[in-house]
A and B are shown apart, each in its own frame.
Chain A
């Protein structure tokens, strides 16, 4: 039997790899959000952090949210995070954070985006 973390890794790798054909700037936007989102979630809370990307993010950043939603098997993740009761909210936050560990790793290894790269000057 696979652990949840392994399950996640298997689903997430192809998602991130799929982004590697995109332009440098698109990769950087996707990758830098993968690095930034965990801390944003800790700072603002899951509902606020997802709401932020949903309303203000670039298409690539929204794509990351869709990917996470798919990877953890929660459709309409943003809406769920707003409506969830306490227990579901905590579980959802944990799942998103666990998945983000992999997005962070693959952003570095597959897309070549480091945590400190501004999306404007990525790849140089």
Chain B
């Protein structure tokens, strides 16, 4: 009898479209041999995992809760690429901050707070030094005696905007990189080091007294544009453009409608597709939403049809062609 080991099950498991990207990145590298292409192919695999379908539903609740707790939200768009959490402990020797439960890239509140704090000290002059008479710095960021007046929430990506991107760096000065929180790695060889970066639009949320929130958004706007967040900022990574002006309006009802419809499509058992899909298509036709949102629903319907093995049967139908047309 062949003894099937636990390891066998893990190795046998391939990455799936619904795999948690962070889990795959952390625990499913094929082998540890440096000379193999395991690291590069792991990075590719993770980059190919799409945002989970449940994420848009999750995000609307997230935003609702932030607003319900009195936070102000503003969008910030990554202008190139961003590498936050590059130095976290990992057997890959490079990493990226991914949301634990959902596997999407995000910017931790700690990183935003740290960025704004150090930017204030370096650029804003005497009033913003820790211990200055104005106490501006300790009010906004807190000190050892008192907590800060402001809350910096994690900045989560707006659904459908963020991607994980396979990236490569060639390290010429390993010592330089080891001075930060980068795992000790002997990167002296000429081997390029694969890593993941991200782009997208992120929802930055702050809570606290209004004038301090406004000041902090100002600070963040400048520090995200000038200094950048995360790693490799000297190579231009981590720059975001933050939209000031009125805060992002609360979730529009249409977004919830889109999320609900996608959910409805996903839970449809394959056996019920033939009977129900046209009704769903009609709902899609009636749906009044942004083109991008409509495209997402169309895509979900098409995926479902494929999943149910009905692609060939549907290909020549007018409704299916209309859906395909919407994807263009």
Contacts and interface: CB of A to CB of B under 8 A. Distances in A.
B29 A86 contact: no
A64 to B, nearest CB: 14
B32 A83 contact: no
Contact of B183 (A36, A45, A85): A36
Of the four ranges (under 10, 10 to 19, 20 to 34, 35 or more), the interface on chain A belongs to 20 to 34
A13 interface: no
Contact of A120 (B7, B88, B89, B178): B178
A83 B6 CA distance: 7
A70 interface: no
Contact of B33 (A32, A39, A55): A55
B179 to A, nearest CB: 7
Q: Which of A32, A43, A52, A84 gathers most chain B CB within 10 Å? A: A43
Interface of B is mostly: loop
Q: Which of B29, B89, B179 gathers most chain A CB within 10 Å? A: B89
A2 interface: no
A50 to B, nearest CB: 10
9 contacts: A44-B91, A45-B26, A48-B29, A51-B31, A51-B32, A83-B6, A86-B6, A118-B178, A118-B184
Given A39-B89, A55-B34, 16 more contacts: A36-B89, A43-B88, A43-B89, A43-B90, A44-B90, A44-B91, A48-B27, A51-B31, A52-B91, A55-B32, A82-B7, A83-B6, A85-B5, A85-B6, A118-B178, A118-B179
Interface of A: 32, 36, 39-40, 43-45, 47-49, 51-52, 54-56, 82-86, 89, 118-120
